[in-house]
Structure 1
Amino acid sequence: MRGKPLYPFALTAILGIGLIIVLSFVGINIGPDSASENGEENGEEQEFDDPIELGEHIYEGQCASCHGGDLDGGSGPALDGGNYSEEDILTAISEGPGNMPAGLVSGEEAEAVAEFILAENE
């Protein structure tokens, strides 16, 4: 290796960069299935017959991170005390009191979340 001492290092660098590029493209295709994460299967939205099941599904995706998985609170207030009426819950969802963003869900989904919260407090 007297004449060209940088060749082995250059070859190693080129092979390393090529390997990084190839593995990056492989990794892009291996990620979790986005359809199953969003409650969709085979390109179709998951349907719920019971509004309470729909409310639970939406609550877990939109509300549980702040209000806790068991409605026991977290960075948001606890919802397990039974202190809220359906109207209070719908108003809070639409207006977003305090740090809560307004309008996370609306319409039928908001009503389903309210039904779920009330059913859990019974």
Structure 2
Amino acid sequence: MRKNPVVPYAIIAILGVLAVVIISVVGLGQRTDIQQAAEGGGEQTEETQEGETAGGDADAVYQSNCAACHGADLSGGAGPDLTQVGSKLSADEIADIITNGVGAMPAQSQVAGEELTALSEWLSEKQ
């Protein structure tokens, strides 16, 4: 007796469709949460309430926004070395580069307000 070779493919296809449906449902729930947070209607997390990531922790801002290109230790990688950036640029110049980008570096619009100020001042101290 010969097995039908289509059955394993049909099972995989059904599992794939189920996975897409589940991911879509989860994504819709997350979309609502993101919209509420963007509108200011979402609840603040404990970290933000305690002030740990609300812009005062420049190292955390750097690690989540800059380290991928400039290295976790500021030593460079895809982006230039920032270990002595403060000896070349002021905090305002660094903030301008973060906001508008320069050369191959794109603007980092997700870093703004208190986070931008804290990050640019922290980097300007790197001499």
Partner of 1:91: 96
Q: What is the TM-score with the length of structure 2 in the denominator?
A: 0.59
Instruction: Indicate how the Cα distance of structure 1 residues 52 and 71 shifts in structure 2: closer, same or farther if over 3 A, else same.
Output: farther
From the CA coordinates, give the structure whose radius of gyration is larger.
1
For 2:56 and 2:80, the matched residues in 1 are separated by 21
Indicate the percent of aligned positions where both proteins have the same amino acid: 30
* Cα pair 1:90 1:114 within 8 Å, conserved: yes
Instruction: Indicate how the Cα distance of structure 1 residues 113 and 23 shifts in structure 2: closer, same or farther if over 3 A, else same.
Output: same
Alignment partner of 1:116 is 2:119: no
Instruction: Indicate how the Cα distance of structure 1 residues 100 and 57 shifts in structure 2: closer, same or farther if over 3 A, else same.
Output: same
Q: Which runs of 5+ in 1 are unaligned?
A: 35-39
Partner of 1:76: 79
More helix by share: 2
Q: What is the TM-score with the length of structure 1 in the denominator?
A: 0.61
For 2:6 and 2:80, the matched residues in 1 are separated by 59
Q: Let me know the Cα RMSD of the aligned residues.
A: 3.5
For 1:16 and 1:97, the matched residues in 2 are separated by 47
Report how many residues are paired. Answer: 106
